[in-house]
Amino acid sequence: MKHIKTLKTKKLNNTVKTGGCGECQTSCQSACKTSCTVGNQKCE
């Protein structure tokens, strides 16, 4: 596209069927423990 550049992103709606295993870590907005923020969390 000439006027718009689209970044590489994970399509959230694709995770509706594949997600929900519940195996991910807890998350926290503070760096005072093991977890990271949900926006930077790994699907683990």
Partner 1 sequence: MVHCYKNNGYNIVLDVDSGAVHVFDDIAYDMVGLYEDNDRDDIFSKMKSMHPSVSEDELGEVYEEIGQLKESGDLFSEDVYKDRVIDYTKRPTVVKALCLHVAHACNLSCKYCFAEEGLYHGKKAELMPFEVGKQALDFLIENSGSRHNLEVDFFGGEPLLNWQVVKDLVAYGRSVEKEHDKHFRFTLTTNGVLLDDEVMEFVNREMDNVVLSIDGRKEVHDRMRPFIRGDGSYDLIVPKFKKLADSRNQDRYYVRGTFTAGNKDFSKDVLHLADLGFKQISVEPVVAPEDEQYALTMEDLPELYEEYDRLAAEMAERMDTDREFNFFHFMIDLEGGPCVYKRLSGCGSGTEYLSVTPTGELYPCHQFVGNDGMKIGDVYNGIQNKELQQEFKGCNVYSRKECSECFAKYYCSGGCAANAYHFTGDIRGTYEVGCALMRKRVECAIMLKAARELKEQ
Give the span between the Cα atoms of 22 and 9, in whole angstroms.
Answer: 22
Nearest approach in angstroms of CB 17 to partner 1 is: 9
For 10-42, letters b (16+ CB in 10 Å) and e give: eeeeeeeeeeeeeeeeeeeeeeeeebeeeeeee
Nearest approach in angstroms of CB 3 to partner 1 is: 4
Q: Which of residues 1-44 bind partner 1 (CB under 8 A)?
A: 1-13, 15-16, 18-20, 22-44
Size of the site for partner 1 (CB under 8 A): 41
Q: Interface with partner 1 by CB under 8 A: which residues?
A: 1-13, 15-16, 18-20, 22-44
